Amino acid sequence: MDDILEILQNDARITPAEISKMTGKKTSDIEKSIKKYEKDGVIVKYKTVLNRDLIEDNSSSVRALIEVSITPQKDVGFDHIAERIYSFQEVTSCYLVSGTYDLLVVVEGENIQTVSNFVALKLSPMENVRSTATHFLLKKYKEDGQILKKKKEGKRLNISL
């Protein structure tokens, strides 16, 4: 992978001037490369990773990983059904995977019932969907390569008898 892309993947806020110092390339060349990567769709989005546990007014959204087994369609394989699935508003990510199921779908909703309704009313009844298995995320330790720190909890006092 290009060194500019590696640097941006680790820190999207870094400036072209800082990348220039790190790589020894001209700042103007770095700016041109970044613009080209954006235009060509190599750089799709700049993203901030949040530790929602540390946000005081944290709205309690629920995230689930759903394993989906599907029957591929003639002439379009998995792509057409994957496109239909990832078009739903609740779906945040969709991957074709190897193994015992075909798609791994990441879904987010207000609560468990919202996600459950999505699976029962939208996903499972779809033509070519053979089965689903839903796994609710209980706690995140690391996301997108970043270790998420826990809230500092009050220190427990030792009790001696």
pLDDT in tens, 116-158: 999 999 999 999 999 999 999 998 888 888 888 776 666 666 6
Domain-by-domain residue ranges, the chain? 3-40, 56-139
pTM of the model: 0.74
Return the SS3 of 52. helix
pLDDT tens for residues 36-70?
A: 999 999 999 888 877 776 776 656 689 999 999 99
* One-letter identity of residue 26: K
Count Cβ atoms within 10 A of the Cβ of residue 108 and give its class: 0-12 exposed, 13-18 middle, 19 or more buried: middle
Which two tokens mark 34?
């970044």
Average pLDDT across the chain, whole number: 89
| CATH class belonging to 56-139 | alpha beta
CB atoms within 10 A of CB 26: 11
